[in-house]
DNA sequence: CTGTTAGCGCGTTCAT
DNA sequence: ATGAACGCGCTAACAG
């Protein structure tokens, strides 16, 4: 007895039989092969339509050795930054008939590895990573498999790897110099996951800016919450507020952290920007809300995702070979969490600038 | 010459050959078949490990007729509500070794259909829908294919379909009655996509609440922005503000719309809640931000996604057969966009309550 | 242009 | 407990 076929599936053979053709001819017709007569193509198309034929992409992928899926590894889709990246990726992918597999890693190596295996086992054609330490052995393994891959927002030292990101060092400098210009001298930093490149580079920019303006670097107001979340920002800010001389301004490694910090400040009965000024990073949509109006550093997030996908698919389809190294320029968005440019600011900053 | 195999792939045959076994034995060993000796199992596992074997899920899916993927159709991952649903779904799915395919539909029938085809062609095992009008013929087609499916947040009249949602009629009543209790009599509604069930039910609750309190229903302050976005809320609110007698309070069909409305109000130099009170729906994380503090109706979003996934996978694995009809209870979260319960409110509401 | 043959990698009878 | 043979649906190689 025949194996019970998967739910009443119309195959290429069915239509071949009905038309008295061979399966290969039908296959060719369906794939718009040049070596097929217009008439057969028509007939095949018609019959396919009539029978309700749907191509089995799995079978196709089996012979081709690759599935038209790309894996999207991000820490957390719940973070608006990554949601926006995802949107960019998905828009491009779906337009080009690729599926995108959502993989949340929570910055956890274990999850990352689990997914790396999963993706490999499913022969996905390519990867977009916003999460991993690319030095992860499993990712390396995928790389060796030949699976093309592009990093978004994160960068790496593995030189063959493509990436698209924003100049985070520069972005941080923009942010901190803005604070300095406003007269702040005790400027703190609240970081996310310390091991992650965007965090590192923002920290680096922060230090450079301080140094350039002869401002002291203070360990006790340069802390990491461990993740890019509101809770992280909230907790660290609370701690800063207990200090003998708390910072008068804080540069947060991303907007979520900034928002959490603001929460902490308000909860202590203080206010932003009067008591402490805040700058965030990313310019997530909610940063512009009335009542929030967070001063922040913007990245072209959607474009970054879209560009990464565009490039990746080009590579997959053999339209490109060179690697992509794209660095967008960050933009400072001045809103209300740092106060206006006050006179006191002018003075101090001139003094520092000399 | 042999077909060039996909990137240096270790197959079941390779390990069979090396061990002097047959492929079938290896297959069985790998799948923990009961009819295999412990010793062979060990040897096979070891060899597999040594050779770096990775099962080809595609080949497997081809014979099984189904891939361990589920399709997640949502309007827009950029909306925090859906991001949260997605997170719930993904957490469960990945724990059970299923992949989740991200499909943004923008509430567009065309995109929905394109994805329905795509998913079918890839033999995904099941679907979670937060987007479609299930009456969509393509979705119907998928249903007929036998693909299990569960609706989140949306409901339908097709009786065999499973769903998990919140009682939106009740939620809307909660919201509007809160407003009434505060003394408002001119309460407007700003809807999202009119054709979508959660919107319809929230509208229905709105009307019921008005009616129950003998408040007039006014067409001109019951409008739809067409989508669940800030822009939609912004635009409609601006229009309301042009009216001769604008509403003193607005119930928005979701938080994004509410946020957009607030933006419009503030931009007109008015303030919330003094000039117009606002209630939203969903309780997205940003609703609780200091400076925002939106009064809203909460749904257990993450749980809804997780439950839907849990149920779907149970069905796929034959552990369940009955359909799931789960309706969560909404909760009113009172924050600051409606003002405190004022004396004026007490009076009017008692009067209305009689 | 079209048909025939032969796999892709795996799981599954049916034997033994 | 193991092996041989076959098929899942499709595409590529080789004939004509």
What distance in Å separates residue A110's CA from the closest CA in chain B? 12
Residue B86 with chain A: CB contacts under 8 Å: 77, 102
Residue B121 with chain A: CB contacts under 8 Å: 54-57
Chain mean pLDDT for chain B: 90
- The structure tokens listed for B34 are 């009961």
Instruction: Report pLDDT for B62.
Output: 92
- Please provide the distance, in angstroms rounded to a whole number, between the alpha carbons at the two ends of chain B: 89
Residue A64 with chain B: CB contacts under 8 Å: 6
Beta bridge partners of B232: none
Per-residue pLDDT, averaged over B49-73, amounts to 94
CB-CB under 8 Å, B114 with A57: no
Tell me whether the omega of the peptide bond preceding residue B231 falls within 30 degrees of 0, making it cis.
no
Rounded to an integer, what distance in angstroms lies between the CA atom of residue A192 and that of residue A107?
11
> In this structure, is the CB of residue A1 within 7 Å of any atom belonging to strand C?
yes
Interface residues 11-40 of A with strand C (CB < 7 Å): 20-25, 28-29, 35-37, 39-40
> In this structure, is the CB of residue B3 within 7 Å of any atom belonging to strand D?
yes
Where helices occur in A218-271 by DSSP H, the ranges are: 230-242, 255-267
Instruction: Report pLDDT for B143.
Output: 74
CA dist A274 → A108, A186, A332, B344 (Å): 38, 14, 20, 34
Instruction: Report pLDDT for A204.
Output: 98
Does A289 reach chain B within 8 Å, measured CB to CB?
yes
Residue A75 with chain B: CB contacts under 8 Å: none
CB-CB under 8 Å, A83 with B103: no
DSSP codes, B136-184: -HHHHHHHHHT--EEEES---S-TT-EEEEE-HHHHHHHHHHHHHHTT-
Mutation site for A-interface testing, chosen from B3, B78, B105, B316 by largest number of A Cβ within 10 Å: B78
Number of neighbours of residue A24 by Cβ within 10 angstroms? 11
Please determine, for residue B184, whether its predicted confidence score (pLDDT) is greater than 70. Answer: yes
Q: Are the CB atoms for B112 and B73 separated by under 8 Å?
A: yes
Instruction: Report pLDDT for A132.
Output: 67
User: Which A residues 235-274 touch B at CB under 8 Å?
Assistant: 259, 262-263, 266-267
Per-residue pLDDT, averaged over A277-297, amounts to 95
How many alpha carbons fall within 13 Å on the CB side of residue A109? Answer: 8
Question: Which contacts (CB < 8 Å, 24+ apart) does range A311-316 have?
Answer: A311/A150, A311/A162, A311/A164, A312/A70, A312/A126, A312/A127, A312/A128, A312/A148, A312/A149, A312/A150, A313/A70, A313/A92, A313/A93, A313/A96, A313/A98, A313/A126, A315/A126, A315/A148, A316/A125, A316/A126, A316/A148
pLDDT interval class at B162 (50, 70, 90):
very high
**Burial label, B282 (beta-carbon count in 10 A; 0-12, 13-18, 19+):** buried
DSSP codes, B91-102: HHHHHTT-EEEE
Please determine, for residue B224, whether its predicted confidence score (pLDDT) is greater than 90. Answer: yes
Per-residue pLDDT, averaged over B70-98, amounts to 97
Chain mean pLDDT for chain A: 90
User: Which A residues 14-73 touch B at CB under 8 Å?
Assistant: 54-59, 61-62, 64-67, 69, 72
**Burial label, A320 (beta-carbon count in 10 A; 0-12, 13-18, 19+):** middle
Residue with tokens 């802390």: A223
Per-residue pLDDT, averaged over A126-147, amounts to 77
CB-CB under 8 Å, A6 with B123: yes
Residue with CA nearest to C4's C1' atom:
A22
| Confidence (pTM) | 0.92
Rounded to an integer, what distance in angstroms lies between the CA atom of residue A119 and that of residue B259?
39
State the DSSP code for B130: S
Please determine, for residue A107, whether its predicted confidence score (pLDDT) is greater than 70. Answer: yes
Instruction: Report pLDDT for B132.
Output: 67
Q: Which nucleotides of D are covered by protein (CB under 7 A)?
A: 1-5, 7-14
Write the pLDDT tens digit of every residue in A156-190: 777 778 999 999 999 999 999 999 999 999 999 99
What SS3 string covers B190-204? EECCCCCHHHHHHHH
> In this structure, is the CB of residue A97 within 7 Å of any atom belonging to strand D?
no
Beta bridge partners of A251: A189, A279
Beta bridge partners of B152: B164
Which residues neighbour A219 within 8 Å (Cβ) at sequence distance 6 or greater? none
State the DSSP code for A308: H
Please determine, for residue A76, whether its predicted confidence score (pLDDT) is greater than 90. Answer: yes
Does A310 reach chain B within 8 Å, measured CB to CB?
no
- The structure tokens listed for B226 are 């067409």
DSSP codes, A159-213: TT-EEEEE-HHHHHHHHHHHHHHTT--SEEEEES-TTSHHHHHHHHHHHHHHHHT
Write the pLDDT tens digit of every residue in A181-218: 999 999 999 999 998 999 999 999 999 999 999 999 99
User: What φ, ψ does residue B34 adopt, rounded to 5°?
Assistant: -70, -30
User: Which A residues 140-169 touch B at CB under 8 Å?
Assistant: 145-147
Write the pLDDT tens digit of every residue in A3-18: 344 456 899 999 999 9
User: Which B residues 187-206 touch A at CB under 8 Å?
Assistant: none
Percent of chain A residues topping a pLDDT of 70: 91
Interface residues 131-160 of B with strand D (CB < 7 Å): none
Radius of gyration (C-alpha) of chain A in whole angstroms: 26
Do the bridges between strand B249-252 and strand B296-298 make them parallel or antiparallel, or are there none, so unpaired?
unpaired
Tell me whether the omega of the peptide bond preceding residue A14 falls within 30 degrees of 0, making it cis.
no
Rounded to an integer, what distance in angstroms lies between the CA atom of residue A328 and that of residue B221?
44
Percent of chain B residues topping a pLDDT of 70: 91
Which residues neighbour B49 within 8 Å (Cβ) at sequence distance 6 or greater? none
Rounded to an integer, what distance in angstroms lies between the CA atom of residue B240 and that of residue B249?
11
Write the pLDDT tens digit of every residue in B270-295: 999 999 999 999 999 999 998 999 99
State the DSSP code for B75: S
Please determine, for residue B6, whether its predicted confidence score (pLDDT) is greater than 60. Answer: no
Write the pLDDT tens digit of every residue in A33-66: 888 999 999 999 999 999 999 999 999 999 998 8
- The structure tokens listed for B152 are 């989140």
Instruction: Report pLDDT for B145.
Output: 78
Please determine, for residue A350, whether its predicted confidence score (pLDDT) is greater than 90. Answer: no
Residue with CA nearest to D5's C1' atom:
B24
CB-CB under 8 Å, B78 with A94: no
Q: Are the CB atoms for B215 and B185 separated by under 8 Å?
A: yes
CB-CB under 8 Å, B86 with A117: no
The whole-number Å distance from A54's CA to C3's C1' is 23
């Amino acid at each position: 007895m025949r194996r019970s076929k998967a739910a009443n599936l119309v195959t290429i053979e069915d239509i071949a039989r009905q038309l008295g053709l061979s399966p290969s001819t039908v296959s060719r017709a369906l794939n718009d092969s040049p070596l097929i007569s217009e008439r057969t193509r028509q007939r095949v198309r018609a019959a396919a339509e009539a029978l309700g034929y749907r191509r089995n992409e799995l079978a196709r992928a089996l012979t081709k050795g690759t599935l038209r899926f790309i894996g999207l590894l991000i820490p957390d889709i719940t973070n608006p930054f990554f949601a926006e990246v995802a949107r960019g990726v998905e828009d491009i992918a779906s337009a080009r008939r690729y599926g995108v597999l959502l993989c949340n890693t929570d910055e956890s190596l274990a999850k990352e590895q689990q997914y790396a295996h999963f993706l490999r086992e499913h022969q996905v054609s390519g990867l977009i990573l916003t999460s991993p330490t690319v030095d992860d052995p499993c990712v390396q393994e995928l790389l060796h498999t030949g699976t093309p891959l592009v990093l978004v927002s994160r960068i790496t030292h593995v030189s063959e790897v493509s990436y698209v990101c924003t100049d985070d060092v520069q972005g941080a400098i923009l942010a901190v110099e803005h604070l300095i210009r406003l007269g702040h001298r005790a400027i703190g930093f609240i970081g996310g996951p310390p091991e992650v490149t965007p965090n590192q580079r923002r920290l680096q920019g922060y230090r450079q800016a301080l140094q350039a303006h002869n401002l002291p670097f203070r360990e006790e107001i340069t802390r990491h919450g461990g993740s890019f979340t509101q809770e992280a920002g909230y907790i660290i800010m609370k701690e800063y507020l207990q200090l003998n001389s708390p910072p008068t301004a804080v540069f947060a490694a991303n907007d979520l952290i900034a928002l959490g910090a603001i929460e902490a400040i308000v909860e202590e009965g203080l206010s932003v920007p009067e008591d402490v000024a805040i700058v965030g990073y990313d310019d997530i949509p909610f940063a512009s809300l009335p009542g929030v109006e967070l001063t922040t550093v913007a990245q072209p997030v959607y474009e970054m995702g879209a560009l990464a996908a565009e490039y990746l698919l080009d590579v997959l389809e053999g339209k490109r070979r060179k690697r992509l190294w794209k660095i967008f320029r960050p933009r400072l968005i001045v809103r209300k969490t740092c106060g206006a440019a006050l006179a006191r600011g002018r003075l101090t900053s001139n003094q520092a600038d000399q």
